[in-house]
Structure 1
Amino acid sequence: MALLAATALAGLLMASALFPVAGLAGHLLTRTADAMADSSRSLSSGDAPQVSTILDAAGEPIAWLYEQRRHPVPPEEISAPMKDAIVAIEDRRFWEHSGVDWQGTARAALANLTAGAVRQGASTIEQQFVKNHALLVEARTDAERRQAVATDYGRKLREIRIAQDLDETMTKDEVLTGYLNLVPFGNGAFGVEAAARTYFGIGAAELDLAQAALLAGMVQQSSGLDPYANPDGALARRTAVLDAMVDVGVADPAAAAAAKDAPLGILPEPARLPQGCIAAGDRGFFCDYVVDWLGRHGVDAQRLARGGYTVRTTLDPGVQDAARAALTAQADPAAPGVAEVLNVVEPGADSRRVLAMASSRDYGLDAGAAQTVQPQPWAMLGNGAGSIHKIFAATAAIERGMGTEAKMAVPRRYEASGLGEGGAEDCPPGKYCVENSGEYRPQMSLTEALAHSPNTAFVMLAEQVGVPAVVDAAVRLGMRYYAEPGSFDGDASVADYVSDNTLGSFVLGPTPASDLELANVGATLASDGRWCEPSPVESIVDRAGAEVPLDTVPCEDAVEPGVARAMARALSRDTVEGTAKEAAAAAGWSGDMAAKTGTTESHQSAAFLGFTRGLSAATYVYNDSTTTAGLCTSPLRQCGDGDLYGGKEPARTWFAAIGPVIDRFGGPGLPEMDPRYKGNTAEVPDVIGRTEGDARRILEEAGFRVTSRWAAGTGKPRGRVTGIANRDSVLEGGLVDLEISDGSRPRPRPKPPERDRRDDRGRAPNFIDVPGLGRVPLPG
């Protein structure tokens, strides 16, 4: 009777497996046949989570990203004792049944019906494969994980159905390999290869009888049979596995006996693989950037942590090491409230490789040791890059016809109209006022002004071309964040805010900046005006070795090649006669390069941008605390008012980092510029003698902006144009300052006073000049 009952029950379970809709009442399958077919295909495809590896440009690992530490291997890379051990202890009829052991299933089903619940599983390796796949691969939520291990007939029938499908689509060796590559072995090891490395420091192909028996025994309860936490339990389970292997004839009794007497033989502690960017050391900031960049280009962090990708990056280990050494030499990693970052990018017309990315801060989670995981080298932060923004005004001016040798007025103070309000003290309403820090010649060429950096000259230049044009040049050259919502205030972007020509201070660089974007500005100019997005990824391949497509941003022409070369040459005097002269000389730098220093008025941040034909790099020092203290130099620190300038630590760091590696990238040097860019090229229509209205119309139709001022004593009719006050500096599309006659006549020039005439002996003359009579002798 018992045999008949078992046979009938087995038939019922068979019917339920084959026809899930007609399964046991109240325990219908929770998935459709199509869904189960998908699960079967997923099992056979081997899509279990794997480790993704991030490599530097030399092929050395930077970091490993994973949810489950798994290293799948083919059947031939798993030792025979390992395969025999797992079959002997988990499913000794594995090689005979067709995915389901109906004899065992019937026995378990009878026991479960008697108990009124699922108490026994009688699971085959195929069924365990299905269950573990549902738990470790398919389940993404806690509810799905609970359902994957639920003790009900619905789950059991689903396992049976998919197990049978597997037996039809995969060979037994493929099933066994897939199972061994999937299951957990404790201590963060998933799959037999990770387990072999974790406990023995070898590959799965090298596992001997004792080692294989230990691992096979742990599958039943990986945490409870942890050989580090429970060595006695692990030894007892290993013995049970060895006995099972002898019983089924896959282990020689003598060899099994010797294995039982052997010690556990495990490593002193589990050999784990570092997980995530936190273990990447001074490459951690770059590692985070790789993950962020990939997330923005089609491979999100979760996909990366599960996909088993190999990411080859652009990080040059030599450049990175030089950058980090230079930073820590100039900025103490533990200094309170001050950090320095550096990025190095390689110019190119079709790509923009990030060669190094570093901070003076140590990458880590110990805030007490001044460590941080904040994206310092590539985020928008600090008080701004200061006068480096003058590059953008100069670029906009050259695009509009200004020559690199064109003369610029350099007044001590300037009060600009239409650029907002405020600035220097005692500024009249409706004006933006600026003063120079230091004494300058009253007139400089554009090249000289970029080297010496007077503020008034560049605010005047921003007034000439318009602040929107300055911001537009910044965005095109590389400061792309300034076009993003929220880059200025609330939801507004910097570009939106200056649409009405306000924010005259933008040219002086008071807005937060990204050091990576600053470095890319130099790379754009060094690439004949070609902008490319900074990329940390050389290639990414999936677990099968196939290239993974990415949603990359195409390169684009930011400025004309002639403009870019002119700008590079206009920036070439800073290290020779300008604000970076001392730093360059101290570093022994020789050869052409383009450079610009920058310092904010508050001295809370300072920067240095320098580039050659083959490299562009930017350094940025900023107050990384919540205080508003200024920064001081030598040593770099927080202080009162501050005395840090871009020509100090920022420039010193640049030369210390780039000097040792520059020869690998073509050495110093800049492309030659077209001589036509030396002089002004703008042509202003002749409007002298016209009425102010006619002159405005003609000039505005020609693309110029117009302002005017009254001119007295010209003798011309009132309202007529008598001249252009800024004729020598008018640019294409720029501001034309008209002089308009007020109708008054010229005042007569006063007669110069008569010079006191004395003879050779110093005596007064003996005559006087009388109007109408001429010279009249004096009496006596």
Structure 2
Amino acid sequence: MRRLWLVTKLILACVVAGSCLAGMALPAAGGLGLLSNATGDAVHSLALALERGKPPYASVLEATDGTPIAYLYDQYRLDTPSDRISPNMKVAMVAIEDKRFYSHHGIDPAGTMRALISNEASGETSQGASTLTQQYVKNYQILVTARNNKKAQEQARALTAVRKLREARVAVELDSQLSKDEILTRYLNLVTFTGNTDGVAAAAQVFFETTPDKLTVTQAALLAGVVNNPVAYNPWNHPQAALQRRNAVLDAEVSIGKLDPQIADQAKKQPLGVVADPRVPASDCVGVKPGFGFFCAYVRDYLRSAGFTTDQLRTGGYRIRTTVDAKLTGLTKGAVDANVPPRTPGIANTMVVIRPGSDSHEVAAMVANREYGVDAAAGQSMTNLPVEVSDPFGAGSIFKLFTTAAAMEQGKVGLNTPLPNPNSQCFMPPIVDEYTVCHTVQNDYVGYPNPITLENALATSPNVAFTDLELRAGLPSVLTMAYRLGLRRTLAASEAGSPPTTDPADERSQKAEYNSPQRDYFRNNPSFTLGVSAVSPLELANVMATLDDSGKWCPPTPVRQVLDHDGRPVALPHQECEQVVAPALADTVIRGLAKDTTEGTSATSALKAHWTRQLAGKTGTTEYNESVGFVAGLRHYAVSSLVFADGSAPAPICASKPPRLDSDDSGCAGAFGGSLASPPFFAAFGKLLGNSPDSGLPAADPGYLDARPHGPTAPWVVGTAVQHAQDTLRQAGYARVDVSPQESDSPKGTVLGQSHAGAFPTDTAITLIVSAGHDVPR
């Protein structure tokens, strides 16, 4: 039987030697009966896939300075062109795996014959018969074609004559289509070097913390050697075997005349030189560099919503140029960790920084004292705390901004307008019935002036004055202003922060705080201006970006550009910015917030931090101190810092160092926005800005210093039907109304956005972005 198998092998070798070289014109039917015309078609298809296809490449997320911050991948592989692979690497691989690589045509008849006879004589596989091209074919099938199919992978590894002949035919066809350097480069980019490291670029980084163009003779020899058996020659688990294998590669290089024997002898005396602690980057956003996990998840989800599939992101080899500032991320992460240590039970501290711009609001930093991950005991969270409507208790008095802007737009107040401000007052909601009772609102302390100017009220935050102003402006107008300025996902969420629950089987569906979006829930609830509902830290920062940007709202974006595997830009959906309030109003609100760090609620922390710059700031504290916040506006940065109870058993946050929860109801002095949420901002931005010039704040517009009409006002019509929206705008005097269709999941004809709202001349051209469903012409 063994002799018969030897004869069969020799026949196969002869077929390979005689027929393959003649264009692989193997008979469709013959004595061996192994290959059919259908098989020939499959061979051609596989060869074509190899010629045109690409293996799975990791996508890389880059900071604005080009440094990688995270990877998304199924196989850790980074594409590297030929000119960026060291010649040492190419020589080593050819020497040890396929000495006649440059002389054969995809298969090596002499090598095949020699290996068959040697292996048969020894009774084991002591010599390999596959060329680099054949190995490339085999590995491509395992790592690419069948990467999600274990059965197909087993077939690609099967030690059968059929498989070897098919592999040989594909190799010959591939050799006729690609240059030797193309084949070798593709091979080096494909093969596995350790169990979770594929391709030479990833291997160079993991083994030596270098790049493939800088691989030395000894480094290249080690990498070339491990490919034959990544487990047996793993240099960390089997250093002696790896050393012997590396030296065998050096000898092979000498044997083909590519390495001087004396240099080889010196190289053999060198240690393996691998890093002591090999680090393979995380394959997703869990486990990335500290401070970047939540941002990574935001980018990933942002691109998914833009139409990328998870598989595309993990295999497409995209270069994702993000908006994140690595230095600023380090400063903000350090600041929140120092403010609320990461393992503090039940307390989260988020900070989001946005760069306002005329056509984009770029997310420059997005951090929390938590890390993105599954280990809650280590202070990790899989909820994207900076992005989601994650602060369930609200931002406190920061919401008084919306009341201010709404009332100011209506001409009811200006910065100098005195507001009635008794220490307490009982307010009725706008809609009452015979059972309605008034709700008493109190100021935090009795020392407030009565009346108090709006500017001083913004700095010191009396509750009574703003509740009265909210009711005079009208709750619908205040809620709409909050949406316009940026609280869009927030107002679509329930008062608790979750999507509204309408399932009758869920008992929460019977409660208004769970079954209604905030935009509806608060239409008859004056507590909105006190900031008592769930909020997104990202959207809160974008509110300040809108005001900083003279009233122009842009969707926050974490991505500047996506390049595909070949370096070509990938088109991303674009949402237009909107001028949601008049520039004069926005600039006046910003100027009205300037006293917070000098005479207001953050003044003590600013003084401790030696902060002297002009700053638009506002603090917030909820009634029971379960959440505190601070927002800041500079010329080039808009910031939110929120500290809130995020555990399953929330409680008031104590003003201790470090902060803790009053979980046992023993009582403590509660934390405030000025004392707990603002310090990380001052710490991070004091270091960032240093002694650079103060960029200042815009001047208040004279027309908004006192209560007065501001002329025609373009009503906000987003969310209505397009015909109704056009009629409403024209009735308000705005005749130039254009419509721009946009693909959307919203019902066809729904207004998704508008270019201008607020006090603008009636000859202003207003563009409505209108949902076309999924029927937009392409």
TM range (shorter): 0.7 to 0.9
Give the letter aligned to residue 567 of structure 1: V
Match of 2:51 in 1: 41
Give the C-alpha shift of residue 551 in structure 1.
2.5
Match of 2:535 in 1: 513
How far does the alpha carbon of each residue in 1:644-667 deviate from its partner, in whole angstroms, 9 at most, with x for none?
A: 222321233333333444565853
How far does the alpha carbon of each residue in 1:164-188 deviate from its partner, in whole angstroms, 9 at most, with x for none?
A: 3321221112212221232112264
Give the letter aligned to residue 102 of structure 2: W
Aligned equivalents of 1:587, 1:9: Cα separation in 2: 79
Give the C-alpha shift of residue 570 in structure 1.
3.5
Q: Does residue 1:567 correspond to 2:592, yes or no?
A: no
Retained in 1: the 8 A contact 2:299–2:559? Answer: yes
Match of 2:404 in 1: 394
Q: Does residue 1:417 correspond to 2:439, yes or no?
A: no
Match of 1:646 in 2: 673
Give the letter aligned to residue 172 of structure 1: K
Aligned equivalents of 1:576, 1:402: Cα separation in 2: 27
Within the candidate set 321, 330, 355, 2:364 is matched to 355
How far does the alpha carbon of each residue in 1:671-697 deviate from its partner, in whole angstroms, 9 at most, with x for none?
A: 33142562132899xxxxxxxxxxxxx
Q: Does residue 1:678 correspond to 2:706, yes or no?
A: yes
Q: 1:389 to 1:29 in 2, by over 3 A?
A: farther
Retained in 2: the 8 A contact 1:342–1:359? Answer: yes
Q: 1:419 to 1:14 in 2, by over 3 A?
A: farther
Q: Does residue 1:429 correspond to 2:451, yes or no?
A: no
Match of 2:546 in 1: 524
Q: Does residue 1:490 correspond to 2:518, yes or no?
A: no
Retained in 1: the 8 A contact 2:390–2:534? Answer: yes
| TM-score, with length taken from structure 2 | 0.74
Q: Looking at CA atoms only, which structure, 1 or 2, has the larger radius of gyration?
A: 1
Q: Does residue 1:658 correspond to 2:670, yes or no?
A: no
How far does the alpha carbon of each residue in 1:331-373 deviate from its partner, in whole angstroms, 9 at most, with x for none?
A: 3333322222222222222121223333234666654443446
Retained in 2: the 8 A contact 1:594–1:670? Answer: no
How far does the alpha carbon of each residue in 1:381-406 deviate from its partner, in whole angstroms, 9 at most, with x for none?
A: 12111121121122222222322144
Give the letter aligned to residue 653 of structure 2: L
Aligned equivalents of 1:93, 1:262: Cα separation in 2: 28
Match of 1:455 in 2: 463
Give the C-alpha shift of residue 157 in structure 1.
5.3
Number of aligned positions between the proteins: 676
Within the candidate set 606, 609, 630, 2:628 is matched to 606
Aligned equivalents of 1:196, 1:159: Cα separation in 2: 29
Aligned equivalents of 1:660, 1:218: Cα separation in 2: 47
Q: 1:206 to 1:557 in 2, by over 3 A?
A: closer
Match of 1:632 in 2: 654
Give the letter aligned to residue 384 of structure 1: G
Aligned equivalents of 1:106, 1:391: Cα separation in 2: 83
Aligned equivalents of 2:88, 2:421: Cα separation in 1: 85
Retained in 2: the 8 A contact 1:21–1:28? Answer: no
Match of 1:296 in 2: 305
Match of 2:273 in 1: 266
Match of 2:105 in 1: 98
SS of 1:564's partner is helix
Match of 2:94 in 1: 87
- For structure 2, the residue ranges without an aligned partner over 5 or more in a row are 1-6, 503-513, 713-730, 733-757, 760-778
Give the C-alpha shift of residue 279 in structure 1.
3.9
Aligned equivalents of 1:162, 1:67: Cα separation in 2: 26
SS of 2:194's partner is coil
Give the C-alpha shift of residue 158 in structure 1.
4.8
Give the letter aligned to residue 86 of structure 1: M
Retained in 2: the 8 A contact 1:313–1:538? Answer: yes
How far does the alpha carbon of each residue in 1:391-445 deviate from its partner, in whole angstroms, 9 at most, with x for none?
A: 1122222222322144444452233234589xxxxxx723462411343555444
Summarize the alignment of residues 591-602 of structure 1 with structure 2, pairs less than 5 Å apart: 592-602=614-624
Within the candidate set 472, 480, 483, 2:488 is matched to 480
Give the letter aligned to residue 136 of structure 2: F
SS of 2:192's partner is coil
SS of 1:141's partner is coil
Give the C-alpha shift of residue 605 in structure 1.
0.3
Match of 1:403 in 2: 413
Q: 1:19 to 1:370 in 2, by over 3 A?
A: same
Within the candidate set 639, 663, 673, 1:617 is matched to 639
Give the C-alpha shift of residue 39 in structure 1.
0.9
SS of 2:678's partner is helix
Give the C-alpha shift of residue 628 in structure 1.
2.7
Retained in 2: the 8 A contact 1:520–1:534? Answer: yes
Aligned equivalents of 2:540, 2:420: Cα separation in 1: 28
Aligned equivalents of 1:616, 1:205: Cα separation in 2: 42
Q: Percent identity?
A: 36
Retained in 2: the 8 A contact 1:108–1:122? Answer: yes
SS of 2:619's partner is strand
Retained in 1: the 8 A contact 2:247–2:268? Answer: no
Retained in 1: the 8 A contact 2:492–2:518? Answer: no
Retained in 2: the 8 A contact 1:20–1:29? Answer: no
Give the C-alpha shift of residue 125 in structure 1.
1.6
Give the C-alpha shift of residue 447 in structure 1.
3.4
Give the C-alpha shift of residue 222 in structure 1.
1.2
Q: 1:371 to 1:111 in 2, by over 3 A?
A: same
Give the C-alpha shift of residue 461 in structure 1.
3.7
Summarize the alignment of residues 96-495 of structure 1 with structure 2, pairs less than 5 Å apart: 96-101=103-108, 122-143=129-150, 144-151=152-159, 155-156=163-164, 158-186=166-194, 188-199=196-207, 204=212, 212-238=220-246, 241=249, 258=265, 262=269, 265-267=272-274, 269=276, 271-275=278-282, 277=285, 278-299=287-308, 302-361=311-370, 367-372=376-381, 374-382=383-391, 383-404=393-414, 405-410=416-421, 412-418=424-430, 429-431=435-437, 433-437=439-443, 438-439=445-446, 440-484=448-492, 487=498, 489-490=500-501, 495=517
Q: 1:556 to 1:275 in 2, by over 3 A?
A: same
Match of 2:749 in 1: none
Give the letter aligned to residue 490 of structure 1: T
SS of 1:272's partner is coil
Give the letter aligned to residue 176 of structure 1: L
Aligned equivalents of 1:556, 1:683: Cα separation in 2: 20
Q: Alpha carbon RMSD of aligned pairs, Å?
A: 4.3
Aligned equivalents of 2:614, 2:218: Cα separation in 1: 68
Q: 1:159 to 1:674 in 2, by over 3 A?
A: farther
Give the letter aligned to residue 46 of structure 2: M
Summarize the alignment of residues 656-735 of structure 1 with structure 2, pairs less than 5 Å apart: 656-662=683-689, 664=692, 666-676=694-704, 678-681=706-709
Retained in 1: the 8 A contact 2:490–2:539? Answer: no
Q: 1:307 to 1:410 in 2, by over 3 A?
A: same
SS of 1:647's partner is helix
SS of 2:648's partner is coil
Q: 1:660 to 1:141 in 2, by over 3 A?
A: same
Give the letter aligned to residue 347 of structure 2: V
Aligned equivalents of 1:329, 1:103: Cα separation in 2: 68
Give the letter aligned to residue 416 of structure 1: M
Worse overlay, 151-160 or 326-335: 151-160
How far does the alpha carbon of each residue in 1:299-336 deviate from its partner, in whole angstroms, 9 at most, with x for none?
A: 55554444444444433345434434443443333332
Aligned equivalents of 1:33, 1:87: Cα separation in 2: 25
How far does the alpha carbon of each residue in 1:264-299 deviate from its partner, in whole angstroms, 9 at most, with x for none?
A: 533363643443552412344334433333443355
Aligned equivalents of 1:79, 1:247: Cα separation in 2: 20
Summarize the alignment of residues 534-545 of structure 1 with structure 2, pairs less than 5 Å apart: 534-545=556-567
Q: 1:651 to 1:214 in 2, by over 3 A?
A: closer
Retained in 1: the 8 A contact 2:23–2:172? Answer: no
Give the C-alpha shift of residue 517 in structure 1.
1.3
Give the C-alpha shift of residue 521 in structure 1.
0.5
Q: 1:478 to 1:95 in 2, by over 3 A?
A: same
Retained in 2: the 8 A contact 1:331–1:360? Answer: yes
